[in-house]
Amino acid sequence: MKFIVSSSALLKPIEQIAGVINPKSVLPILDYFLFDLKKGRLTVSATDLETSMTTVVNVESNADGKIAVPSKIMLETLKALPEQPITFNADTETLNIEIVTDSGRYKLSGQKPDDFPKMPKIESASSISVKAASLGNAISKTIFATGTDEMRQALTGVLFELKKDGINFVATDANRLVRFKNTAVKPTEEINFVIPKKALNLLKSSLPNSDDAIAKVDYNKSNAFFSFGDVNLICRLIDEKFPDYKAVIPVENPNKLLINRLEFLGSIRRISIFSNKSTHQVRLKMAGSSLTVSAEDLDFSNEAKEELGCTYDGVDMEIGFNARFLSDMLSALQSDDVILNMSTPNRAGVLVPSSQNEGEEITMLVMPLMLNTYN
Domain assignment present for residue 136? The answer is yes
Number of independent structural domains in the chain: 3
Q: Is 142 exposed, middle or buried (0-12, 13-18, 19+ CB in 10 A)?
A: buried
Is residue 16 domain-shared with residue 58, that is, in the same domain?
Answer: yes
Q: Say whether pTM exceeds 0.75.
A: yes
Q: What is the pLDDT of residues 173-222, one digit of tens each?
A: 999 999 999 999 999 899 999 999 999 999 999 999 888 899 999 999 99
Q: Do 161 and 83 belong together in one domain? A: no
In this structure, the answer to whether residues 81 and 134 fall within a common structural domain is no
Burial of 375 (0-12, 13-18, 19+ CB in 10 A): exposed
Give phi and psi for 338, each to the nearest 5. Answer: -130, 160
Average confidence (pLDDT) over 243-262: 94
Q: Are residues 259 and 337 in the same domain?
A: yes
Report pLDDT for 148: 92
Q: Which of 67, 83, 115 is the last residue of a domain?
A: 115
Note whether 54 and 111 are same-domain residues. Answer: yes
Q: What is the pLDDT of residue 325?
A: 97
Predicted confidence (pLDDT) at residue 14 exceeds the cutoff of 60:
yes
Nearest 5°: the CA angle 257, 263, 342 is: 20
Q: Are residues 205 and 289 in the same domain?
A: no
Residue 136 contacts residue 209 (beta carbons within 8 Å)? yes
Distance CA 23, CA 56 (A): 23
User: What is the CATH number for 44?
Assistant: 3.10.150.10
Predicted confidence (pLDDT) per residue in 132-157, tens digit? 999 999 999 999 999 999 889 999 99
In this structure, the chain runs to a length of 375
Domain with 217, as residue range(s), is 126-246
Structural domain contains residue 121? no
pLDDT at 135: 95
Q: Are residues 269 and 305 in the same domain?
A: yes
Contacts of 197 (CB under 8 A, 6+ apart): 143, 146, 156, 157, 158
Judged against a pLDDT cut of 80, whether residue 375 lies above it is answered with no
Last residue of a domain, one of 218, 246, 274: 246
What does the pLDDT look like over 285-315, one tens digit per residue? 999 899 999 999 988 899 999 999 999 999 9
Is 24 inside any structural domain?
A: yes
- Are 255 and 355 members of one domain? yes
Q: Please, which residues have CB within 8 angstroms of residue 371's CB and are 6 or more apart in sequence?
A: 281, 283, 318, 319, 320, 345
Domain boundary pick from 63, 90, 115: 115
